[in-house]
Amino acid sequence: MCVLALCGCAVPETVGRAQPAGPRVVFSDEFDGPAGGRPSAQWRFDTGGGGWGNNEWQVYTSDPANVSLDGAGHLAIVARGDADGSNITSARATTKAAVELTNGRAEARIALPAGVGLHAAFWLLGSDVDRVGWPAAGEIDVIETLNLADEYHTGVHAPRAGSPRGQEVSAAGPVPFPLAGEFRTYWVDKTPGRIVTGVDDVTLFSVTPADLAPESTWVFDAPFFLLLNLAVGGNWPGPPDATTPNPSRMLVDWVRATER
**Tens digits of residue pLDDT in 145-181:** 999 999 999 999 999 999 999 999 999 999 999 999 9
Q: Is 132 helix (H, G, I), strand (E, B) or coil?
A: helix
Burial 29-41 (b: 16+ CB within 10 A, else e): bebebeeeeebbe
Is residue 13 in a domain?
no
**Predicted local confidence at residue 20, as pLDDT:** 52
Number of structural domains in the chain: 1
Per the domain annotation, does 8 fall within a domain?
no
Catalytic residue among 13, 100, 144, 215: 144
Residue 3: in which H helix or E strand, if any? helix 3-7
Is 10 a domain residue? no
Q: How many other CB atoms are found less than 10 A from the CB of residue 112?
A: 26
**How many of the other CB atoms lie within 10 Å of CB of 88?**
23
DSSP letter for each residue of 27-57: EEE---S-TT----TT-EEE-B-S-TTTT--
Q: What pLDDT is stored for residue 23 in this prediction?
A: 83
Q: Which of 13, 100, 139, 168 is catalytic?
A: 139
- Radius of gyration of the CA atoms of the chain, in A: 21
pLDDT score of 21: 61
Asked if residue 226 belongs to a domain, the reply is yes
What CATH number has the domain bearing residue 71?
2.60.120.200
Does 240 map to a domain?
A: no
* Structural domain contains residue 219: yes
Is residue 215 flagged as an active site residue? no
The pLDDT tens digits of the residues spanning 15-40 come to 444 445 678 999 999 999 999 999 99
pTM of the shown model: 0.91
Residue 187's Cβ-side half-sphere holds a number of Cα atoms within 13 Å equal to 15
Parts of the chain with a pLDDT under 70: 1-21
Counting Cβ atoms within 10 Å, is residue 173 exposed (0-12), middle (13-18) or buried (19+)?
Answer: exposed
Within a 10 A sphere around the Cβ of 69, how many other Cβ atoms?
19
Q: Is residue 14 part of a domain?
A: no
Residue 9 lies in a domain: no
Residue 57 half-sphere exposure toward CB, CA atoms < 13 A: 21
Closest to 65 in 3D by CA, of 35, 95, 43, 94:
35
Residue 6 sits at φ, ψ, to 5 deg, of: -70, -35
> What range does the domain containing 79 cover?
22-235+247-259
- 144 catalytic per annotation: yes
